[in-house]
Each structure stands twice: as structure tokens, then as C-alpha cells.
Amino acid sequence: MSAGRFAPSPSGDLHLGNLRTAILAWLFARATDRAFLVRVEDLDRQRSRPEFERSQLEDLAAMGLTWDPPVVRQSERDDLYADALVRLAEAGLTFECFCTRREIAEAVRAPHVSPGAYPGTCRRLTEAERDARRADRAPAIRLRADAPTWTIHDVLEGEVRGDVDDLVLRRGDGAHAYNLAVVVDDGEQGVDQVVRGLDLIDAAPAQAYLAHALGLPEPVYAHVPLALNAEGRRLAKRDGAVTLRDLSPDVAWELIGASLGVDARSPEQLLARLDPAQIPGNPWIVTT
């Protein structure tokens, strides 16, 4: 199967920017004859709430979006993530990391380490050193990346090259990391087109590398412009009437259609009137 998807985190109501991204993900999928899936990204147990999952799905339906069942929840897919980790470990592509945040922060001040990257401290531990450290602390599992950078193809942004880094795949407390879950889910669900907000483009090269390391096809990407408030900051719920709690789906369609330069009141009308590759490249400044 060939599919696109929208993968919201159920940590709040969807605002106009999120709804626009969902509509564009649907548009890209349908314009290219793909299935369209919705995945609930609820790995962050502190912030995820079942009531937001419910209201998000209701809001997508209220905008007229349809998706191919089932809706999957990441919190129910730990076995898949654990299997993927075993495969990576067997291929020699993981290592245990005992570093605290503070140790990493101190090591990255060293001149030879690029900003934000893992300094490699635990890559080089001997078996005896690891045994000694396991007594103090449960390790995180990191990717032993063997490429410094990776290049993705983005339909809107072109070729994008970015750092891979030794990503955390599983935290010390046993929780699987977002980067692992997204890649495993996309691969397992047949998602070969990833449409999402431009804020996630920096994560894409490492995710594509991880897909490659797992023997999964690398998806085509389309990172869509973000919605900003009048001050030019990322739109948030506090920016006024920006969710379907305060706006009717009709008004939301009017605003989103106008932001895309077309008059559309439903997904089907949008599909008939807009080629997704032609969407405006500038951010959407929302003033309601």
C-alpha cells in the first residue's frame, strides 16, 4: 500500500494551522492516489489525553476529512518499536548511553563537536565499562549512526541535507523515542509520503537515515509552511479564536481556503481546485 498520513499528538485542540496541515496532508495523499491514514502520536504520556484524541478526530471529521481505518495509537505499538530496536542492535547500529544531560552539555562545549550533536562519549565504552555503569543507571539506547549527514527529497523544499547524529531511540526509563516510533510506524503502515509542518524538517534527514538503516523505504516529504500569529510567532491556542471551539468549520474553511488562494469549502472542492505542489511557500499569518 502507498499512503500519506496526519499524525497529531493529542495534547490539545487542533488550531487553524494544524487543521490546514491535516487538510494539506489529505490533499497530497488524494492527489497522488494514496490512502490517507491518521495516527495518534501519544507516546508522551504526560501531555497526551484521551479527550484531546477524541476532539481532534471530531474536528478532522467536522472539516469533512475522511481517512482509511484503522486509526492507530503509538501507545499500543511498543512491541513493534522493540522489534525494530532488536534489528538495529543485531546490525551493530545501536549502543548503550549512560550520559546525563549535564555530561552531554559539558562535552559538547568541546571544540571538535558540532552544536547540538551527541559528543560520542558512550560509543567508545568497553564491555567492562558498560557493565560497571549499568549498576548505577539504566542506559538509553542510541543509534550508532555511520553517516554524518543524510539528504531527503522534499516536494516543496527540494533537496534538504541535515545531520544524522546518534539519536536516542529508547530513553533510560524504557520509553521509545518519537524518532524511532515515527519511522517504524511509517514503514509498517506503508506510509511513503510524509506531509507535516515545516517545524519538523530538521528531524527529517535523521529519520530518513533511520528508515534506511531499518531497510524501510524512505518516504517523499512535503514540509508545509507554518501558521503564525500577528507577531510572527508560531500560532498557539492563546492567539484567540483559532480552534473549532470558537469557529464553525465553514469559517475555518473560508480562512484556510483564502490562505491557499482558492475558494473551497470541502476537501473535494480543494482537490478539484488546487495542485498541492503549488501551495504558497510563505508562512500563513493568521489574524482572526
Sequential DSSP letters for 197-218 = EGGGGGGHHHHHHHHHHTTPPP
With binding defined as CB under 6 A, does residue 200 bind ligand GLU? yes
Nearer to ligand GLU, 41 or 59 (CB): 41
Q: Pick one of 3, 4, 7, 274: the residue that binds ligand GLU (CB under 6 A).
A: 7
Nearer to ligand GLU, 176 or 196 (CB): 196
| Closest distance to ligand GLU from the beta carbon of 196 (Å) | 4
CA proximity to 60, closest of 256, 285, 262: 256
With binding defined as CB under 6 A, does residue 223 bind ligand GLU? no
* Span 224-253, contacts to ligand GLU by CB under 6 A: none
Nearer to ligand GLU, 7 or 27 (CB): 7
List 150's β-bridge partners, or say none. 162
Q: Pick one of 3, 14, 36, 41: the residue that binds ligand GLU (CB under 6 A).
A: 41
| Closest distance to ligand GLU from the beta carbon of 8 (Å) | 5
With binding defined as CB under 6 A, does residue 42 bind ligand GLU? no
With binding defined as CB under 6 A, does residue 182 bind ligand GLU? yes
With binding defined as CB under 6 A, does residue 122 bind ligand GLU? no
Element (H, E) at 284: strand 284-285
All three cell numbers of 265, joined, read 469549502
Sequential DSSP letters for 148-201 = SEEEEEETTTEEEEEE----EEE-TTSPBPHHHHHHHHHHHTTEEEEEEEGGGG
Catalytic residue flag (residue 237) = yes
Name the one residue in this structure whose C-alpha cell is 553517516.
Answer: 147
Q: Which of 237, 245, 263, 280 is catalytic?
A: 237
Strands 149-154 and 158-163, how do they pair? antiparallel
Alpha carbons 5 and 116: distance in angstroms, whole number: 29
Q: Pick one of 9, 48, 56, 94: the residue that binds ligand GLU (CB under 6 A).
A: 9
Nearer to ligand GLU, 9 or 55 (CB): 9
Q: What is the DSSP letter of 5?
A: E
Residues that bind ligand GLU in the complex, under the rule CB under 6 A: 7-9, 41, 182, 196, 200
Residues annotated as catalytic (active site), given as ranges: 237
